[in-house]
Structure 1
Amino acid sequence: MGQKLHVLFVRGMLYYDGVSAVEYEWIKSLRNRVAYDYVLLDPDKSVPEKLQAVKDLGCQVYPLRYQGASSLASHRNREKVLRDFLNQHHYDVVHIDTDLLSRYDVAKVARQCGVKKVIIHSHNAMRSVHGIQKLPGVARLERHLIAKYATDLAACSKEAANWLFNPQDQGRVRIIHNGIDKDHYVFSDSRRQALRKQLGVGPDDLVLGNIGRLADQKNQLFLLDILAALLKKQPKAKLVLIGSGEKEKEIREKIASLKLTDQVILVLATDQIPDYLFAMDVFVMPSLYEGLPMTLLEAQTTGLPCVISQSISSEMDFPGMIHRQELTAPAEEWAETILEVKPVSDRQAEAAVLTEIGYDNRESAEQVYQMYIGG
């Protein structure tokens, strides 16, 4: 085996999100050919379990801290600390997984420091009404700077590519689907029953599930309204909500105000995602915007039917598994859609669909490696 490529991921933080999950799969799959490190620009928001997981795979994690009296001063200080870091460490590739237009500055600094391969990889598909509010001219300029400083453009979906890159640069974009390890998500009824018993869930309870950062994007506050509407017609409904984030306090307050304390199981962190998916009956994702959400891929692979917002791309739909609803529809209509969903007759069989539609982690990892070496 020759010398490994040295690749640096630049992220804000590591937490229970789809991007962290897919990076973890790349690190595992490519460990014989690639040595990965992390630079974190907002390290104090990271989840300790995620930090430890990548360290256990041999990654060095470098927290970079910066501040300033204004946003401009903070921006300049960020560039300085990143430049100092890159001048002290050699990397063959800087890989920037992001949904932020402002990340062009990381690519600029990397190129100025002599990094030959600088990748900006889009992992979300924000909508202008829900995403970051910027003047169109500013957004176009930042997209132009992304294309100027990045040697390679990549995206997890066409919609994610359209969000982060200007129309004239779409021809440069490499679409690399976010893959998962199929073997981890083959449905197990015994594990389903064990976890439902542990959670105090009865055999007749209808268990909804949602996994994601507790943030505006994921729209969990509206999900609580959906649950409240559903309970009027299905009193045995419960919601398993998995994630952490800045909306936790507000979500807890709304759970209390809607008197849903006995119906919501809030799990801030877990390494049992497959088991929780096995235990659920319907996965509900009313996100305001997404790229190709890993949790939706994982849910379908376990044979879990999904009720999701129209804003989510159809590129990863398993046949018959997805039921869409408009974000503008009231909670009562979402509840009706959930009640209309029929369980999948053979949940184990859905795992085979993952490979058929091109989302196996081994395939996506190989595409990433070919991008690193210029293939």
Structure 2
Amino acid sequence: MVKKKVRVLHVFGRMNRGGAETLIMNVFRNIDREKFQFDFLVHSKEEGHYDQEIKELGGTIYSVPHPRENILQYRKELKKILREKRPYDVIHSHIFTFSGYVLKIAKEEGIPIRIAHSHNTQDGHSSGILRNMYRSYMRKLILKNATNLLGCSKEACRVLFGPECLKNSNVQVLRNGIDLEIFEKIEKGVYLNLRDALRLDSKAKLIGHVGSFTNQKNHCRLIKIFSLLCDEMDNVHLVLVGDGPLKNKISDLIKHYGIEDKVHMLGVRSDVPEILANLDLFLFPSLYEGLGLVLVEAQAVGLKCIVSSKIPSEADIGAGLMKFIDLDLDDTIWAKAIKEELENSNRNISIQKEKIKQSGYDIKEVIKDLAYIYSKI
């Protein structure tokens, strides 16, 4: 008798190149697709960056109206999908607090494995009476309806599931794993030459940032710090990878500081590891992060990272590549630390395979953990 596939429905806002989405795509590419079927429910009619690849890997994407538009219609559409496309064995929700509502419906529809996955330490909204009531209600729904609670760091778990959640047996930190095979051609020296592509001097110092243009990523602070660095150093350039609602605002800020010739906005890229391999330093002054998957990728190529103290300590793989700086410190202190690192370092590509494995960020180990959870039907 042929054993049926375990059918998993992932719930996201949209399948763009964020950390959570990239993690699940890393899993999807490497998991045994003869045993596991991944489908995706998204809250957007717009195409996501990963949509085409999902279809090529055999996944189906269901688009439903955003719950903010009409919560009753959302409930109706979700129930319809769960009933008509049944049976799903697992629903794996990645949408922070609203996972509570999704998993409530999943429980009503008899989905046996219901996972809430926390990928962040804030929801991006300012606190107020109504917002706090919403957060409290959704946490109660999560705790009542989820069978498994996952987070990319201890703090990500605590923020969504409660300060004492790690004492519970159904709570687990699941590392944001990366596919080490992607880094093999970098190790062999076969990858993009970014300086040539940007027509820069081979001796130009390159600083990089990868992330969506949103408040969380703190691009305004990043640009201000870089402008100070430009006053102190010649032949230094900044590479920005990503897209988002604040992109035009950041472009205007770059013009305001008169550093247009020093900043290179590359948009959304599928070759992030290769870009990272070209850099001399990675700068990540986020206001908050669940973890920061790109930091794991940056360290994987032996890249020194200067990051905000808001980054969870678990992001450090123990290779001596992370320097944490408090966001409350003056911009000049950040600029000084960057200058010292650039002047004192002699950048050599060094793939940190063993450190990645030892710290739990090998995608193969992450898949083992997820496959175990998914199969407990």
TM-score normalised to the size of structure 1?
A: 0.91
Q: Which whole-Å CA distance do the structure 2 matches of 1:158 and 1:182 have between them? A: 24
What is the CA-CA distance between 1:76 and the residue it aligns to?
A: 2.8
Q: Quick one: structure 1 residues 343 and 120, their matched pair in 2 at CA, closer, same or farther if it must change by over 3 Å?
A: same
**2:350 alignment counterpart:** 348
Contact kept? 1:125, 1:163, Cα under 8 Å: yes
Contact kept? 2:101, 2:138, Cα under 8 Å: no
- Give aligned pairs, total: 366
Superposition misfits of 4+ residues, deviation over 6 angstroms: none
Is 1:150 the counterpart of 2:146? The answer is yes
**1:81 alignment counterpart:** 77
Contact kept? 1:289, 1:311, Cα under 8 Å: yes
What is the CA-CA distance between 1:275 and the residue it aligns to?
A: 1.3
**1:16 alignment counterpart:** 17
Is 1:181 the counterpart of 2:179? The answer is yes
**2:266 alignment counterpart:** 267
Listed one character per residue, the Cα deviations across residues 44-94 of structure 1 (whole Å, up to 9, x for unaligned) are 2x43x4111211111111111257xxx5x7223322221222121111100
Q: Quick one: structure 1 residues 192 and 237, their matched pair in 2 at CA, closer, same or farther if it must change by over 3 Å?
A: farther
Contact kept? 1:303, 1:344, Cα under 8 Å: no
SS in structure 2 opposite 1:274?
helix
Contact kept? 2:192, 2:274, Cα under 8 Å: no
Contact kept? 2:183, 2:351, Cα under 8 Å: no
SS in structure 2 opposite 1:8?
strand
Q: Which whole-Å CA distance do the structure 1 matches of 2:105 and 2:99 have between them? A: 10
Q: Quick one: structure 1 residues 50 and 138, their matched pair in 2 at CA, closer, same or farther if it must change by over 3 Å?
A: closer
Contact kept? 1:316, 1:357, Cα under 8 Å: no
SS in structure 1 opposite 2:28?
helix
What is the CA-CA distance between 1:42 and the residue it aligns to?
A: 2.5
**1:52 alignment counterpart:** 52
**2:245 alignment counterpart:** 246
Is 1:236 the counterpart of 2:235? The answer is yes
What is the CA-CA distance between 1:313 and the residue it aligns to?
A: 0.6
Write the letter of the residue equivalent to 2:285: P
Q: Which whole-Å CA distance do the structure 2 matches of 1:182 and 1:65 have between them? A: 37
Contact kept? 2:26, 2:179, Cα under 8 Å: yes
Listed one character per residue, the Cα deviations across residues 245-280 of structure 1 (whole Å, up to 9, x for unaligned) are 111111111122222211111111222112100111
**1:105 alignment counterpart:** 101
SS in structure 1 opposite 2:371?
helix
SS in structure 2 opposite 1:232?
helix
**1:196 alignment counterpart:** 195
Correspondence list, 1:310-349, <5 A: 310-317=309-316, 318-341=318-341, 342-343=344-345, 346-349=348-351
TM-score normalised to the size of structure 2?
A: 0.91
Write the letter of the residue equivalent to 2:25: Y
SS in structure 1 opposite 2:8?
strand
What is the CA-CA distance between 1:225 and the residue it aligns to?
A: 0.6
Name which of 90, 96, 116 aligns with 1:93: 90
Is 1:301 the counterpart of 2:327? The answer is no
Contact kept? 1:66, 1:78, Cα under 8 Å: yes
Q: Which whole-Å CA distance do the structure 2 matches of 1:66 and 1:224 have between them? A: 33
Q: Which whole-Å CA distance do the structure 2 matches of 1:94 and 1:166 have between them? A: 21
CA RMSD of aligned residues (A): 2.1
Contact kept? 1:147, 1:169, Cα under 8 Å: no
Moved more, 17-26 or 194-203: 194-203
Q: Which whole-Å CA distance do the structure 1 matches of 2:264 and 2:163 have between them? A: 43
Moved more, 154-163 or 333-342: 333-342
**1:371 alignment counterpart:** 373
Q: Which whole-Å CA distance do the structure 1 matches of 2:345 and 2:104 have between them? A: 50
SS in structure 2 opposite 1:320?
coil
SS in structure 1 opposite 2:228?
helix
Q: Which whole-Å CA distance do the structure 2 matches of 1:237 and 1:231 have between them? A: 7
Q: Which whole-Å CA distance do the structure 2 matches of 1:191 and 1:20 have between them? A: 26
SS in structure 1 opposite 2:298?
helix
Q: Which whole-Å CA distance do the structure 2 matches of 1:249 and 1:9 have between them? A: 31
**1:219 alignment counterpart:** 218
What is the CA-CA distance between 1:298 and the residue it aligns to?
A: 0.1
**1:205 alignment counterpart:** 204
**1:123 alignment counterpart:** 119
Q: Which whole-Å CA distance do the structure 2 matches of 1:326 and 1:179 have between them? A: 26
Write the letter of the residue equivalent to 2:362: D
Q: Quick one: structure 1 residues 193 and 139, their matched pair in 2 at CA, closer, same or farther if it must change by over 3 Å?
A: closer
Write the letter of the residue equivalent to 1:275: E
Q: Quick one: structure 1 residues 29 and 335, their matched pair in 2 at CA, closer, same or farther if it must change by over 3 Å?
A: same
Q: Percent identity?
A: 28
